[in-house]
Amino acid sequence: MLTRYQKASDMTYVAAVAAGSPLMRTSRDKVPNPDKSECEVPAAAEIDIRQLRHHTKNTLQRLLAVIAETPGLCDTPAGEQLARELEHRISLSAAISNALFGLTDAPGSMQERLRHLSGAIVDLMRQPDQIIRIGVSVRGFCPVALREAFLRGANELIGNAVKHGMKDRSAGRIVVRLSSDTTRTILTVTDNGWGFSGQPRGGEGLALARSFADRHGGTLVLDGTDGTQATLTLPHPVA
Protein backbone atom coordinates (compact mmCIF):
# COMPACT_ATOMS: atom_id res chain seq x y z
CA MET A 1 0.00 0.00 0.00
CA LEU A 2 1.32 3.43 -0.87
CA THR A 3 1.58 5.95 1.96
CA ARG A 4 0.33 9.52 1.57
CA TYR A 5 3.92 10.73 1.23
CA GLN A 6 4.79 8.08 -1.32
CA LYS A 7 1.74 8.91 -3.39
CA ALA A 8 2.68 12.56 -3.52
CA SER A 9 6.23 11.69 -4.47
CA ASP A 10 5.11 9.35 -7.24
CA MET A 11 2.70 11.93 -8.66
CA THR A 12 5.42 14.58 -8.62
CA TYR A 13 7.80 12.27 -10.44
CA VAL A 14 5.24 11.22 -13.04
CA ALA A 15 4.23 14.84 -13.63
CA ALA A 16 7.84 15.85 -14.12
CA VAL A 17 8.43 13.02 -16.55
CA ALA A 18 5.31 13.89 -18.56
CA ALA A 19 6.48 17.46 -18.79
CA GLY A 20 9.81 16.32 -20.22
CA SER A 21 11.90 17.48 -17.25
CA PRO A 22 15.53 16.39 -16.72
CA LEU A 23 14.22 13.61 -14.44
CA MET A 24 13.42 11.47 -17.47
CA ARG A 25 16.60 12.00 -19.46
CA THR A 26 18.23 8.81 -20.66
CA SER A 27 21.53 8.06 -22.31
CA ARG A 28 19.82 8.75 -25.63
CA ASP A 29 19.11 12.36 -24.75
CA LYS A 30 21.46 14.99 -26.07
CA VAL A 31 22.17 17.74 -23.56
CA PRO A 32 23.25 21.00 -25.20
CA ASN A 33 26.98 21.63 -24.90
CA PRO A 34 28.06 25.29 -24.88
CA ASP A 35 31.26 24.30 -26.68
CA LYS A 36 29.29 22.95 -29.66
CA SER A 37 27.10 24.87 -32.06
CA GLU A 38 24.40 22.22 -32.24
CA CYS A 39 23.41 18.96 -30.53
CA GLU A 40 20.54 16.95 -32.03
CA VAL A 41 18.83 13.74 -31.02
CA PRO A 42 18.86 11.18 -33.88
CA ALA A 43 15.46 10.83 -35.54
CA ALA A 44 14.89 7.24 -34.32
CA ALA A 45 15.82 8.11 -30.73
CA GLU A 46 13.58 11.18 -30.90
CA ILE A 47 10.58 8.97 -31.70
CA ASP A 48 11.53 6.59 -28.87
CA ILE A 49 11.60 9.42 -26.35
CA ARG A 50 8.35 10.90 -27.67
CA GLN A 51 6.53 7.61 -27.19
CA LEU A 52 7.87 7.21 -23.66
CA ARG A 53 6.67 10.70 -22.78
CA HIS A 54 3.31 10.15 -24.48
CA HIS A 55 2.71 6.87 -22.65
CA THR A 56 3.64 8.49 -19.33
CA LYS A 57 1.33 11.44 -20.03
CA ASN A 58 -1.60 9.10 -20.69
CA THR A 59 -0.89 7.33 -17.41
CA LEU A 60 -0.78 10.63 -15.54
CA GLN A 61 -4.07 11.73 -17.08
CA ARG A 62 -5.73 8.52 -15.94
CA LEU A 63 -4.31 8.88 -12.43
CA LEU A 64 -5.55 12.46 -12.17
CA ALA A 65 -9.00 11.38 -13.37
CA VAL A 66 -9.13 8.63 -10.74
CA ILE A 67 -8.31 11.15 -8.03
CA ALA A 68 -10.90 13.64 -9.27
CA GLU A 69 -13.65 11.01 -9.50
CA THR A 70 -13.12 9.48 -6.05
CA PRO A 71 -15.92 10.57 -3.67
CA GLY A 72 -15.00 11.32 -0.07
CA LEU A 73 -11.33 11.48 -0.89
CA CYS A 74 -10.38 12.53 2.64
CA ASP A 75 -12.16 9.57 4.22
CA THR A 76 -9.93 6.69 5.19
CA PRO A 77 -11.71 4.00 3.09
CA ALA A 78 -11.60 6.21 0.00
CA GLY A 79 -7.94 6.95 0.61
CA GLU A 80 -7.15 3.26 0.83
CA GLN A 81 -9.10 2.56 -2.34
CA LEU A 82 -7.26 5.34 -4.15
CA ALA A 83 -3.93 3.91 -3.08
CA ARG A 84 -4.92 0.48 -4.40
CA GLU A 85 -6.06 2.00 -7.68
CA LEU A 86 -2.82 3.92 -8.07
CA GLU A 87 -0.75 0.83 -7.34
CA HIS A 88 -2.75 -1.20 -9.86
CA ARG A 89 -2.42 1.33 -12.66
CA ILE A 90 1.26 1.94 -12.01
CA SER A 91 1.80 -1.83 -12.22
CA LEU A 92 -0.08 -1.90 -15.51
CA SER A 93 2.10 0.90 -16.84
CA ALA A 94 5.17 -1.15 -15.97
CA ALA A 95 3.65 -4.21 -17.67
CA ILE A 96 3.07 -2.20 -20.85
CA SER A 97 6.65 -0.94 -20.86
CA ASN A 98 7.84 -4.50 -20.37
CA ALA A 99 5.74 -5.84 -23.25
CA LEU A 100 7.01 -3.06 -25.51
CA PHE A 101 10.68 -3.03 -24.60
CA GLY A 102 11.38 -6.16 -22.52
CA LEU A 103 12.58 -4.12 -19.57
CA THR A 104 12.46 -6.82 -16.88
CA ASP A 105 11.95 -10.09 -18.75
CA ALA A 106 13.24 -11.57 -21.98
CA PRO A 107 10.55 -10.99 -24.64
CA GLY A 108 8.19 -13.90 -25.19
CA SER A 109 6.47 -14.87 -28.43
CA MET A 110 4.80 -12.20 -30.53
CA GLN A 111 1.39 -13.56 -29.58
CA GLU A 112 2.19 -13.44 -25.85
CA ARG A 113 3.57 -9.91 -26.03
CA LEU A 114 0.63 -8.59 -28.06
CA ARG A 115 -1.92 -10.21 -25.74
CA HIS A 116 -0.25 -8.91 -22.58
CA LEU A 117 0.16 -5.46 -24.09
CA SER A 118 -3.44 -5.22 -25.32
CA GLY A 119 -4.99 -6.32 -22.04
CA ALA A 120 -2.80 -4.02 -19.95
CA ILE A 121 -3.53 -0.96 -22.11
CA VAL A 122 -7.29 -1.47 -21.90
CA ASP A 123 -7.18 -2.08 -18.15
CA LEU A 124 -4.96 0.96 -17.61
CA MET A 125 -6.93 3.46 -19.69
CA ARG A 126 -10.56 2.43 -19.22
CA GLN A 127 -12.86 4.15 -16.73
CA PRO A 128 -13.30 2.22 -13.47
CA ASP A 129 -16.91 1.32 -14.33
CA GLN A 130 -16.30 0.63 -18.03
CA ILE A 131 -16.47 -2.89 -19.43
CA ILE A 132 -14.24 -3.17 -22.50
CA ARG A 133 -13.61 -6.60 -23.96
CA ILE A 134 -10.57 -7.17 -26.14
CA GLY A 135 -9.77 -10.01 -28.51
CA VAL A 136 -6.31 -10.68 -29.94
CA SER A 137 -5.35 -13.02 -32.78
CA VAL A 138 -1.99 -13.64 -34.45
CA ARG A 139 -1.63 -15.54 -37.73
CA GLY A 140 1.54 -16.28 -39.67
CA PHE A 141 5.13 -15.31 -38.88
CA CYS A 142 5.94 -11.66 -38.27
CA PRO A 143 9.61 -10.95 -39.08
CA VAL A 144 11.67 -10.21 -35.99
CA ALA A 145 12.82 -6.90 -37.47
CA LEU A 146 9.21 -5.63 -37.57
CA ARG A 147 7.94 -6.84 -34.19
CA GLU A 148 8.88 -3.78 -32.19
CA ALA A 149 7.22 -1.49 -34.73
CA PHE A 150 3.98 -3.47 -34.58
CA LEU A 151 3.96 -3.66 -30.79
CA ARG A 152 4.59 0.05 -30.44
CA GLY A 153 2.03 0.83 -33.13
CA ALA A 154 -0.50 -1.37 -31.33
CA ASN A 155 0.21 0.49 -28.11
CA GLU A 156 -0.83 3.79 -29.67
CA LEU A 157 -3.78 2.47 -31.70
CA ILE A 158 -5.32 0.51 -28.82
CA GLY A 159 -4.79 3.48 -26.54
CA ASN A 160 -6.64 5.70 -29.01
CA ALA A 161 -9.48 3.18 -29.21
CA VAL A 162 -9.98 3.32 -25.45
CA LYS A 163 -9.30 7.02 -24.98
CA HIS A 164 -11.34 8.33 -27.91
CA GLY A 165 -13.49 5.54 -29.35
CA MET A 166 -14.79 4.39 -25.96
CA LYS A 167 -15.00 7.80 -24.29
CA ASP A 168 -18.08 8.04 -22.03
CA ARG A 169 -19.35 4.64 -23.19
CA SER A 170 -20.30 2.06 -20.56
CA ALA A 171 -19.17 -0.92 -22.62
CA GLY A 172 -17.38 -1.78 -25.83
CA ARG A 173 -15.17 -4.19 -27.69
CA ILE A 174 -11.77 -3.93 -29.35
CA VAL A 175 -10.37 -6.54 -31.73
CA VAL A 176 -6.65 -6.72 -32.51
CA ARG A 177 -5.45 -8.85 -35.42
CA LEU A 178 -1.90 -9.42 -36.66
CA SER A 179 -1.64 -11.32 -39.93
CA SER A 180 1.48 -12.16 -41.94
CA ASP A 181 1.93 -13.62 -45.41
CA THR A 182 5.11 -14.01 -47.45
CA THR A 183 5.51 -10.32 -48.31
CA ARG A 184 3.89 -8.21 -45.61
CA THR A 185 2.38 -8.11 -42.13
CA ILE A 186 -0.85 -6.27 -41.31
CA LEU A 187 -2.05 -5.08 -37.90
CA THR A 188 -5.70 -4.07 -37.54
CA VAL A 189 -7.22 -2.52 -34.43
CA THR A 190 -11.02 -2.31 -34.62
CA ASP A 191 -13.40 -0.86 -32.03
CA ASN A 192 -17.17 -0.49 -31.92
CA GLY A 193 -16.96 3.00 -30.46
CA TRP A 194 -17.90 6.44 -31.73
CA GLY A 195 -15.99 6.42 -35.00
CA PHE A 196 -15.41 9.68 -36.87
CA SER A 197 -16.34 11.53 -40.05
CA GLY A 198 -13.89 13.20 -42.40
CA GLN A 199 -10.28 13.25 -41.29
CA PRO A 200 -9.45 11.78 -37.87
CA ARG A 201 -8.37 14.24 -35.24
CA GLY A 202 -4.57 14.41 -35.14
CA GLY A 203 -2.72 13.68 -31.91
CA GLU A 204 0.60 12.44 -30.61
CA GLY A 205 -0.52 8.79 -30.55
CA LEU A 206 -1.60 8.83 -34.18
CA ALA A 207 1.54 10.72 -35.19
CA LEU A 208 3.71 8.11 -33.49
CA ALA A 209 1.86 5.26 -35.22
CA ARG A 210 2.39 6.98 -38.58
CA SER A 211 6.08 7.42 -37.80
CA PHE A 212 6.45 3.65 -37.26
CA ALA A 213 4.82 3.05 -40.65
CA ASP A 214 7.05 5.61 -42.35
CA ARG A 215 10.19 4.19 -40.75
CA HIS A 216 9.58 0.82 -42.42
CA GLY A 217 8.09 2.01 -45.71
CA GLY A 218 4.57 1.03 -44.71
CA THR A 219 1.14 2.65 -44.45
CA LEU A 220 -1.41 3.52 -41.77
CA VAL A 221 -5.05 3.81 -42.85
CA LEU A 222 -8.01 4.76 -40.63
CA ASP A 223 -11.71 4.18 -41.32
CA GLY A 224 -14.27 5.74 -38.96
CA THR A 225 -17.46 4.70 -40.76
CA ASP A 226 -18.64 2.15 -38.18
CA GLY A 227 -16.56 2.53 -35.06
CA THR A 228 -12.90 2.90 -35.96
CA GLN A 229 -10.59 0.53 -37.79
CA ALA A 230 -6.89 1.33 -37.96
CA THR A 231 -4.75 -0.72 -40.36
CA LEU A 232 -0.96 -0.67 -40.13
CA THR A 233 0.75 -2.46 -43.03
CA LEU A 234 4.50 -3.04 -43.23
CA PRO A 235 6.36 -4.79 -46.06
CA HIS A 236 8.76 -7.53 -45.08
CA PRO A 237 12.47 -6.69 -45.24
CA VAL A 238 14.27 -7.97 -48.31
CA ALA A 239 16.55 -10.85 -47.39
With a cut of 60, say whether residue 34 has pLDDT above it. Answer: no
Domain boundaries, the chain: 4-235
With a cut of 90, say whether residue 68 has pLDDT above it. Answer: no
Phi and psi at residue 3, to the nearest 5°:
-85, 170
DSSP assignment of 25-79: --TT-----TTSS-----HHHHHHHHHHHHHHHHHHHHHHHHHHH-TTTTSHHHH
Of the candidates 128, 178, 173, the residue with the CA atom closest to the CA atom of residue 153: 178
Question: Superfamily for 4-235?
Answer: Histidine kinase-like ATPase, C-terminal domain (3.30.565.10)
pLDDT of residue 72: 73
Banded model confidence at residue 20, pLDDT cuts 50, 70, 90: very low
> By three-state DSSP, how is residue 56 classified?
helix
Mean per-residue pLDDT for 49-54? 75
Give tens-digit pLDDT for 117-155: 999 999 999 998 999 999 999 999 999 999 999 999 999
What is the CB-side half-sphere exposure of residue 53 using CA atoms within 13 A?
Answer: 20
Of the candidates 200, 197, 93, 216, the residue with the CA atom closest to the CA atom of residue 153: 216
Cα(159)–Cα(173) distance, rounded to whole angstroms? Answer: 13
pTM above threshold 0.85: no
What's the mean pLDDT when you consider all of the chain? 79
User: Pairing relation of β-strands 171-180 and 131-139?
Assistant: parallel
Give the list of residues 6+ apart from residue 162 with CB closer than 8 angstroms, or none.
Answer: 121, 122, 125, 126, 132, 174
pLDDT of residue 71: 75
Cα(237)–Cα(185) distance, rounded to whole angstroms? Answer: 11
